[in-house]
Amino acid sequence: MSYRTIHKGPRDWRVPPNLAVDALEHDAFSWDVARAWLDGLPGGRGLNIAHEAVDRHADGASGTRTAIRWLGKHGERENLTYEDLRRRTNRMAHVLEDLGIRRGDAVFTLTGRVPELYATAFGTLKAGAVLSPLFSAFGPEPVRQRLEIGRGRVLVTGRAAYERKIAGIRDRLPHLEHVLLTDVPAGAPPPAGTLSLASLMADADDTYVIGPTDPQEPALLHFTSGTTGTPKGAVHVHEAVVMHHATGRFALDLHPGDIFWCTADPGWVTGTSYGIITPLTHGITSIVDEAEFDADRWYRILSGERVSVWYTAPTAVRRLMRLGEEPARDADLSALRFVASVGEPLNPEAVVWGSDALGLPVHDNWWQTETGGIMIANTIAADVKPGSMGRPLPGVEAAVLSHGPDGVVTHDGEVEVLPAGHEGELALRPGWPSMFRGYLHDDERYRRCFAGGWYLTGDLVTRDADGYYWFLGRSDDVIKSSGHLIGPFEVESTLLEHPAVAEAGVIGKPDPLAGEIVKAFVVVKPRVRADDALSRELIGFGRSRLGAAVAPRELGFVDDLPHTRSGKIMRRLLRARELGLAVGDLSTLEGEETT
């Protein structure tokens, strides 16, 4: 079934769109224009994300505006004004400095959406340290790996997470000097080896002057997964805020007075770029809900908080669809004027469901950890082709490159840019401000991301005659589950630590709600009984080490795994078998050597 283009006109927007209908074709935009939308540090001392998001709004009338409206799991509410946030982040910057944290040191967080996270994030940036937020559902092993690669000196987390995930591995984290707990009240004794963040904050001065900050200084460290090897730490710099702000304007159409809600977890790049930074650079109110997905609760928030711009994920949209249109129609969504989604391709049914149930189509957009900000988007004023990720934003140059079995085809370092209608790898011309500046301690993997002057995204796409991009699949084996990127190698390595496992191959199995779920194929060692009890044990083993979001949800035993001649597991063959594709299809589907 093909879906009709959703045409837009002036009746579709209540405020004039930031990006007019035909502006995508304009080249009047430059990144210098976007830089001028920001203030820079006073006295020309550089550019700091925390100044643009917090301090510049904290003086005068805007200081009393609500920056963050925090909704607790159990009905609590807390309004943090820009002035409140400035004082808290000032205190946090002092706390870190008093602990001996220097510019460039890594400060990690492992928390849900609690108010302390926001103070930590901007306090870290004020102090010139590098913020690395971890996904709170990670188990001990992904946390340990990331803290080790990032050489985290400080970890901000909660008591339960510390006791369950950190205490047991603390002796394997030589760089980790300080653990600050968000939920130990000032004056109460924290568990051994930890400090109470509240105590430290209470003793800290609430005035602070952000030091000179070079726009090219590292600010954010986001981990992402590849097909092979350990997680990659993508480094972003303070200049990324130019992109955060510009995309808030273009892709999310943020206007003064908006109430914005980004539902992403802070442990993933969306939760930082758009859940923490972007709404605040625009000086608007950001809704922060501590709870996880709950359909009724979400409709109550959309309606009760008068959310005007909502940025969510395909899995959430699909779960809302399961309730039908009625709850959406019963909710007062009169304030809502723009809905966007990111994380994995949004199926056309979900786009159209938005039009029917919410009264607004859901606007898919595309970007990834390495790009730091939205690159390709369905924008408020442009026609929506359901199922397409949209068109490149101003300042973004995208192309489809010729792609073969070994990746992008190069001849003497040159690549072939394909015309419309051809399938290939999505590539971007480097130069946008939130482009990652490297993978931490891994220059080789960074270099492999480029060819012929293009950044290679790893996504296979086509572009149609109107310039809309359509996602086809990944060129590698990474798994996208509920919007989270999962590296199969990480999961396989953990399963291999179990004494019964000889070999493991992990794939993404298509799932109607999550996009994909993690499925493991396991070869057991000789004389081990491959039965249901072992299957459950291995799933439990994976979950306790990796966390529920990363561990396999399904596990099957096989006699052997398919390998290439060079010995690599052919995960795509496993996936094709799982999907019931005829093996005869594989020569054309895979283009890979078989054993």
Partner 1 sequence: MDEHTLRETVLRVLGEVAPEVDVTRVNPAEDLRDQLDLDSMDLLNLAIGLFQATGTEVPERDYGRIVTVDGCVGYLMERGGPPA
Contacting residues toward partner 1, per CB under 8 A: 73, 137, 139, 160, 164, 292-297, 319, 322-323, 327, 482, 513-514, 517, 536-537, 539-541, 543-544, 547-549, 553
Q: How many CB atoms lie within 10 A of CB 444?
A: 7
Q: How far is CA 558 from the centre of its chain?
A: 34
DSSP class of residue 64 equals: G
DSSP class of residue 309 equals: E
CB 575 within 8 A of CB 507: yes
Q: Could you tell me the smallest distance in angstroms from the CB atom of residue 522 to partner 1?
A: 14
Q: Could you tell me the smallest distance in angstroms from the CB atom of residue 308 to partner 1?
A: 25
Give 295's contacts (C-beta < 8 A, 6+ positions apart).
Answer: 319, 320, 322, 323, 327
- Cβ closest to partner 1, residue 124 vs residue 482: 482
Q: Could you tell me the smallest distance in angstroms from the CB atom of residue 223 to partner 1?
A: 18
Give 26's contacts (C-beta < 8 A, 6+ positions apart).
Answer: 394
Residue in 309, 319, 203, 206 with CA at minimum distance from that of residue 261: 309
Q: How many CB atoms lie within 10 A of CB 492?
A: 22
Q: Could you tell me the smallest distance in angstroms from the CB atom of residue 417 to partner 1?
A: 39
- Cβ closest to partner 1, residue 9 vs residue 499: 499
C-alpha span between 251 and 231 (Å, rounded): 29
Crossing angle (nearest 10°) for helices 532-546 and 140-150: 40
Q: Could you tell me the smallest distance in angstroms from the CB atom of residue 326 to partner 1?
A: 10
Please list the residues that pair with 407 across neighbouring strands.
404
Please state whether beta strands 554-557 and 515-524 pair in parallel, antiparallel, or not at all (unpaired).
Answer: parallel
- Cβ closest to partner 1, residue 3 vs residue 293: 293
- Cβ closest to partner 1, residue 528 vs residue 539: 539
Residue in 155, 96, 316, 132 with CA at minimum distance from that of residue 219: 132
Residue in 130, 281, 120, 127 with CA at minimum distance from that of residue 210: 127
C-alpha span between 224 and 233 (Å, rounded): 6
- The number of residues in the chain equals 595
Phi, psi of 358 (to 5 degrees): -95, -15
C-alpha span between 50 and 118 (Å, rounded): 11
Q: Could you tell me the smallest distance in angstroms from the CB atom of residue 448 to partner 1?
A: 32
Greatest alpha-carbon pair distance for the chain in Å reads 74
- Cβ closest to partner 1, residue 531 vs residue 593: 531
533: left (phi over 0), alpha (psi -120 to 50) or beta: alpha
Residue in 457, 442, 538 with CA at minimum distance from that of residue 498: 538
Q: Could you tell me the smallest distance in angstroms from the CB atom of residue 319 to partner 1?
A: 6
Q: Could you tell me the smallest distance in angstroms from the CB atom of residue 137 to partner 1?
A: 5
Q: Could you tell me the smallest distance in angstroms from the CB atom of residue 389 to partner 1?
A: 24
- Cβ closest to partner 1, residue 7 vs residue 74: 74
- Cβ closest to partner 1, residue 259 vs residue 534: 534
Q: Could you tell me the smallest distance in angstroms from the CB atom of residue 340 to partner 1?
A: 21
Give 323's contacts (C-beta < 8 A, 6+ positions apart).
Answer: 295
- Cβ closest to partner 1, residue 20 vs residue 548: 548
For tokens 């469901």, what's the residue?
Answer: 353
- Cβ closest to partner 1, residue 306 vs residue 319: 319
- Cβ closest to partner 1, residue 45 vs residue 543: 543
Q: Could you tell me the smallest distance in angstroms from the CB atom of residue 267 to partner 1?
A: 12
Q: Could you tell me the smallest distance in angstroms from the CB atom of residue 490 to partner 1?
A: 17
Helix (H, G, I), strand (E, B) or coil at 291: coil
- Cβ closest to partner 1, residue 332 vs residue 466: 332
Helix (H) or strand (E) holding 486: strand 484-486
CB 284 within 8 A of CB 341: no
Q: Could you tell me the smallest distance in angstroms from the CB atom of residue 547 to partner 1?
A: 7
- Cβ closest to partner 1, residue 502 vs residue 548: 548
Q: How many CB atoms lie within 10 A of CB 106?
A: 25
- Cβ closest to partner 1, residue 151 vs residue 553: 553
- Cβ closest to partner 1, residue 18 vs residue 482: 482
Show the beta-strand stretches assigned E in 273-316: 285-289, 309-312
Q: Could you tell me the smallest distance in angstroms from the CB atom of residue 165 to partner 1?
A: 9
Give 179's contacts (C-beta < 8 A, 6+ positions apart).
Answer: 154, 155, 156, 157, 162, 166, 170, 193, 194, 195
Q: Which two tokens stand for residue 402?
A: 């010729």
